[in-house]
Amino acid sequence: MKRIALCCAAALLLLSACAGKTEKPAPAGGTEKAGTAAESTSGNTAESAESSAKSAAESRSEQKDDVQFDRTKAVTDTGSKAFTATSAIECAKDMKTGWNLGNTFDATGASGLSSETSWGQPKTSKAMIDSLAKSGMKTIRIPVSWHNHLIDSNYTIDPAWMERVKEVVGWALDDGMYVILNSHHDCNDSPAVMPAGNGYYPNQVNYEESRRFLKNIWTQICLAFNNGYDEHLIFETMNEPRLCGTSHEWWFDANAQECKEAAEVLNKLNQDALDTIRASGGNNAKRFVGCPGLQASPDSAFAAAFQMPKDTEPGRLMVSVHMYSPYPFAMESPGQTKYTAQMRSSNVMTFKKLHDTFIAKGYAVYIGEYGATNKNNLEERTAWFHDFIKFTRNEGIPCMLWDNGVWEVQGTDYNEHFGFFNRTGGTWFFPELLDAIMEEAGKTD
């Protein structure tokens, strides 16, 4: 992925008859193939996976040489909060609906604390988070990039950066919100052997370096966020891990060798990240953790090649997927401006498949990113939002609205207009869309 300004988190698109994908800085053409049959996906159920997880986790956690960061620079959590025992599925229902603090802590246009505003968004304030919570959002996903905040060759995270992330996470939690914290734009942009500290990449040649990066990053995150944070803080191992710089970046082909290898490596990386989180102990031993398939695509998650990691704690895992679908309506520029019954049916089928493939087997599901770009078609988008939230609510799937701050349309350029919340004014650019979300999320039928 090219890490440039004004990029929003990359979208994975599930389509009915037509599929596609755009890179956040600029469109990246191509189509996305459907995964293989759902009945062969995600391995065993969450409960049956527990028994074999403990010994494997203990073995992997013994790789002490992988932890290289400077512990004297690490930010350490000294708080204490009780962790209320519940299942991931029940937690997901309580998350209801949410919003992404996009193009902010994930931005990579500068180093140091100035990177927060390097993609054009204002510095996050407590008033901003308070206004978001007052508008009814129950969950906030805070995308964070880490590779551009390492201060040495041993994967040490800048403590000032960690403290700033903790500050904003704390504001959201104080407002009673759930927070999803992840590793965002850390997927390297090339399949070639990458230098240490560049992030992760799901191919075999980069597996060892990816594992070291994730283990060091997540160990430090877990030091900073542990006993002082209850079940309202959720970890997400990676964001849209994919084969950047290849023809399969946004197109999972179950028959392609590089896709098979990528899925196998990603399964190991999800396991490595989870083992690291669990090994940190305390509240993190039972924290809810979201895991994506390749590109965070539903189709990739449905594929037989995708396996949820084995966990030492039953009922704590969530599947993270992204949906800007159907693509011609929700993202493509100019695409289609009309929301049709066929589009509606396509999305409903996907929601049901997510339920049957994962939730019915004990794994929660959340849609970490979704949205429909502004095409000066407010009435059509309002109908789309009503349906999207209504049918995901019926399946017990919370959704986090992607927001990159771009909302005003110039001409017929509709690319990446995913601005919804006015961060400086504390209001919404399209109150009708917020009303649609809140109306559907608040129903109990």
User: DSSP readout, 396-439?
Assistant: T--EEE---S----BTTB-TT----EETTTTEES-HHHHHHHHH
Residues whose CB falls within 8 Å of the CB of residue 260, separated by 6 or more in sequence, listed in order: 254, 305
User: Could you say which of 116, 236, 240, 440 is catalytic?
Assistant: 240
* 50 given a catalytic annotation: no
Distance CA 410, CA 143 (A): 28
Encoding tokens for residue 258?
Answer: 């590089």
User: Could you say which of 23, 209, 332, 369 is catalytic?
Assistant: 369
Query: What is the per-residue burial (b if ≥16 Cβ within 10 Å, else e) of 348-375?
Result: bebbebbbebbbebbbbbbbbbbbbbbb
Radius of gyration of the chain (CA): 20
**How distant is the alpha carbon of residue 422 from its chain centre?**
22
Distance CA 416, CA 198 (A): 26
Number of residues that make up the chain: 445
How many C-beta neighbours within 10 Å does residue 66 have? 19
Provide the sign of the torsion angle of the four alpha carbons 133, 136, 139, 145, taken in this order.
negative
* 240 given a catalytic annotation: yes
Residue 442's φ and ψ, nearest 5 degrees, are -85, -5
3-state secondary structure of 62: coil
Catalytic residues: 240, 369
